[in-house]
Amino acid sequence: MKTNFLIMEDCIEDSNKKIIFNSKTGKSLTYNKKDFSTFNDLLNEKEIITQLDNLNFWNNSTNEHEVSRKNRVSFKNDPASINLIILTHQNCNFRCTYCYEHFKKKELPLEMQESIIKYISKRILKEEIKHVNISWFGGEPLLGIKSIEYISGKVIEICKDYGVTYGASITTNGYLLNKKMFERLKKCHITYYQITIDGPKEIHDKQRPLINGAGTFDKIFSNIQDISSKLDGETIIIRTNISNLSLPYMDEFIQTFNENFINNKQIYLDFHQVKDLAGKGESEISTDILLDIISKFVKSGGNAYPIIRKIMPESACYATTTNTYVITVDGDVHKCTVSIDNNDLKIGQMDTEGNMIINTTKLNEWTNPKLKHECNECLLLPMCWNNECPLKRFQCEHCHSYKGFEKKLLNLLFLQKTIDYNVKIPS
């Protein structure tokens, strides 16, 4: 069996256990150190090896790198899939302190809505498209709710006529997401919601105020409470951006979240570092601290977004994939929502007839990075391929954000009960 990409760490929660994660396959196992003094002792057990083979733990190949690269191909790279991130409005009703957008006071015009519908229709007619996925973005996308409803209605109908599956998600600040709005979005087949709450009220309202400076926490929290009982297959991800300002208040926020949502397994909390995307020179909290907060939340019984979904070989950032595009209100085509105001990073343009004109040279800069020499020896290579975040790679030398924190990362797998196999001595 191939063992080039095995990350091995002692379990923090149970000192008697060892955790092994194969970054090439995304499979993991634990074993008791009293049963096997070394990992090589475990490998000498033929019955265990057979079981791990059946689990596809190894994914043996004569070319480790090639298999790893292929494993990174998800549905977003599938030529039979259309994946669009559509900005319905480039203004926002918030003025978050760390926001990077320039806020064009403009919504998606009807001619561009029609062009997007034509683009999807043309591709379905000409290619063997099996799935269409739309992610609604902004600004604040709910300022453009009519665009969402119009495009969704047309595309859902087209997909139904040609036997193509359809899925949709939305990233919203949640301020306008009351019960009536939620019912409208249900009709648009939106099943995945990302809503940001940056901690308890006093902190959130400082980081994410309205344009006029008023607070937003109470209304967003009330909206989530109101729609939580109406979830029917939908998932809500509450994203919490942790800054140096909000860090001391995370325990309070975790308690508030658990008091309200601990029994609703369709609502997750997903912690992130506040990034200095606006170029204000603000420092971010360390990955070490971030993982500690997630672990604390999981231990409290909280429903944290599964860390395994961020480290699987196919868990590539959408900007690195070959079949996902961001479309702005002006019809500009980008790979990343953070780059929409940077014309140098634009990769193409939509015309009014449903054609997407792509600069393939610029596209390849996002999807086909060159490996650094040291990448070949890195155990995290299958999770990264020197492209965890292409935008960062353009700006500076960049390694995977979890590099150096493997022990805490694997411990989170253990805490979230996502270990694939608990190895025992064969009876």
207-255 confidence digits (pLDDT tens) = 999 999 999 999 999 999 999 999 999 999 999 999 999 999 999 999 9
Instruction: State percent of the chain over pLDDT 70.
Output: 93
Q: What is the DSSP letter of 373?
A: G
> What is the rounded CA–CA span in Å between residue 136 and residue 85?
6
Spatial CB neighbours of 231, under 8 Å, sequence gap ≥ 6: 264, 266, 267
CB-side neighbour CA atoms (13 Å) of 336 = 27
| Contact in structure between 4 and 14 (CB atoms under 8 Å) | no
85-144 confidence digits (pLDDT tens) = 999 999 999 999 999 888 877 999 999 999 999 999 999 999 999 999 999 999 999 999
> What is the rounded CA–CA span in Å between residue 182 and residue 186?
6
322-374 confidence digits (pLDDT tens) = 889 999 999 999 999 999 999 999 999 999 999 999 999 999 999 888 788 88
| Contact in structure between 119 and 101 (CB atoms under 8 Å) | no
How many Cβ atoms sit within 10 Å of the Cβ of residue 70? 14
Q: What is the DSSP letter of 77?
A: G
| Contact in structure between 408 and 12 (CB atoms under 8 Å) | yes
> What is the rounded CA–CA span in Å between residue 93 and residue 213?
10
**Taking the CA atoms of the chain, what radius of gyration do you get in angstroms?**
23
Helix (H, G, I), strand (E, B) or coil at 170: strand
| Contact in structure between 350 and 115 (CB atoms under 8 Å) | yes
Alpha helices per DSSP H over 188-321: 201-207, 217-228, 250-261, 287-299, 308-311
Instruction: State percent of the chain over pLDDT 90.
Output: 77
The pLDDT, as a whole number, for residue 423 is 92
pTM, two decimals, is: 0.94
Cα-based distances in Å from 223 to 208, 215, 228: 16, 14, 8
Q: Two tokens at 391?
A: 């935008």
Sign of the alpha-carbon torsion through 92, 98, 102, 108: negative
The pLDDT, as a whole number, for residue 277 is 64
164-202 confidence digits (pLDDT tens) = 999 999 999 999 999 999 999 999 999 999 999 999 999
- Is the pLDDT at 64 greater than 60, yes or no? no
The pLDDT, as a whole number, for residue 135 is 98
